[in-house]
Structure 1
């Protein structure tokens, strides 16, 4: 069938091409070829993960499990049953003694104010973004898309606005701040950045993912909510995505699909 189709759309004999005018069939065949090439060219556009950086806190912010449990007991904000539950989860969580919490959590009582939360966020964000851009000598003004997610801390000005002002990103950058989406926000941010790169050719996207610990202490007695007091630690990741052809060979990964 394919052979007969090509025979049907085949060009005329070269000896008669000069005499025969271009027919509608020839124009249609040319259109089909051009459309097919264009379709597969667009379809084969890939999104590359050029590189990423993770935040490494200072040793002074390290919180061994024994210190963390002592801190919980001395805060005196939970009843005995709730405290015992948090101690039990801490001991069995598998979190190592090298894990860190922000300086506001080291205080007694912990500082959960807006200023403390903003200080934690900017400290972590500015560090990872600066490391990633410096590592690859990326001009901040070359970033076309900026996506940030932080589930429980949604300040105004937004997290992306703080990044834009700090590093001098372009005024027309496409920026989105996600919040209130829990642990799924990381995947959603990658998906959103991928969609932006599919639409805007030859561009870069910066994805920032974190959770702020400072403002999220729970003082009630519901066990499912007490778990968040114990398992969250300080950290953030910055991810540089690209659909530029020149980044293909230096990229660490190619985005295949999202879970």
Structure 2
């Protein structure tokens, strides 16, 4: 990541030095995954790349969860999706409903713009819904996306997330 930043026209030497220190102090090593968009010759953190990364991480996480638990898609009656920044049309919750062909009567919430800690709120919402809807499963997808929101420039307060969040995480 630092080599790509050095080769770009977006960051000063001072910014590169700050990034090196931030990454070093965070415990992130050289083997930490970096999204492909950041490895391209020309950095283009666009919505198309962000959607591609969201689909890979979110769908991959759900596929793994369903395989491990044996829960069938038709048994899921509640979907709560939390993403702090990624807010597109169609919403992430609709992308999940369509991908997994969840039932028409699914209770679906798309919680956005509330920061990383909204994952706890999403779980609380699912828990409250399960008190009312007893014979169903709830799927809570808590994730974040920084691809289209990476900061290109020397404002330290804005590009610290570039150093700490390298790929969309889904939980």
TM over 0.5: yes
2:3 equivalent among 70, 82, 94: 70
C-alpha deviation, 1:146, in angstroms: 0.6
Measured on the aligned residues, the alpha-carbon RMSD in Å equals 1.6
| TM-score under structure 2 length normalisation | 0.91
Deviations for 1:227-249, whole angstroms, at most 9, x for unmatched residues?
111000225344xxxxxxxxxxx
SS at match of 1:122: helix
Counterpart of 2:13? 80
C-alpha deviation, 1:145, in angstroms: 0.6
Structure 1 runs, 4 residues or longer, greater than 6 Å off: none
1:124 equivalent among 17, 35, 57: 57
C-alpha deviation, 1:84, in angstroms: 2.0
> Cα–Cα, structure 1 residues 97 and 84, in superposed 2: closer, same or farther, change >3 Å?
closer
Does 2:23 align with 1:90? yes
CA distance in structure 1 between the aligned counterparts of 2:42 and 2:23, rounded to whole angstroms:
19
Q: Which runs of 5+ in 1 are unaligned?
A: 1-67, 239-259
2:96 equivalent among 152, 163, 178: 163
Question: 5 Å matches for 1:1-259?
Answer: 68-238=1-171
SS at match of 1:208: strand
Contact 1:147 1:189 in 2 (8 A): yes
Larger Rg: 1
C-alpha deviation, 1:83, in angstroms: 2.5
* Count of aligned positions: 171
> Cα–Cα, structure 1 residues 214 and 102, in superposed 2: closer, same or farther, change >3 Å?
same
CA distance in structure 2 between the aligned counterparts of 1:108 and 1:151, rounded to whole angstroms:
28
